[in-house]
Amino acid sequence: MPKLPKAREIEKVLKSLGYVLSRQSGSHAIFKNTEGKRIVIPIHGGKEISIGVFLAILSDLNMTKEEFWEKK
């Protein structure tokens, strides 16, 4: 199984792409960029993000897995 990121790793990549934490609702952090695009990250105590959620985030960012790991 491929390596999956933790929420903090996704947060780091989002910040490097210009996203800022807009708000947090329970265990979900909502990040927005200057264009108003929104990305939601589930934060569950340092656990890895599920493959489906990770692929959805990559799709929203128009990014491949390789590009994501290079940004990290």
- Each domain of the chain, given as residue ranges in start order, spans 7-71
Give SS3 for 32. strand
Q: Which two tokens mark 37?
A: 């695009």
This prediction has a pTM of 0.89
Q: What is the pLDDT of residue 23?
A: 96
Is the pLDDT at 1 greater than 60? The verdict is no
For the chain, the three-class secondary structure string (H helix, E strand, C coil) is CCCCCEHHHHHHHHHHCCCEEEEEECCEEEEECCCCCEEEEECCCCCECCHHHHHHHHHHHCCCHHHHHHHC
- pLDDT tens for 7-33 read 999 999 999 999 999 999 999 999 999
Domain 7-71 has CATH 3.20.20.450: no
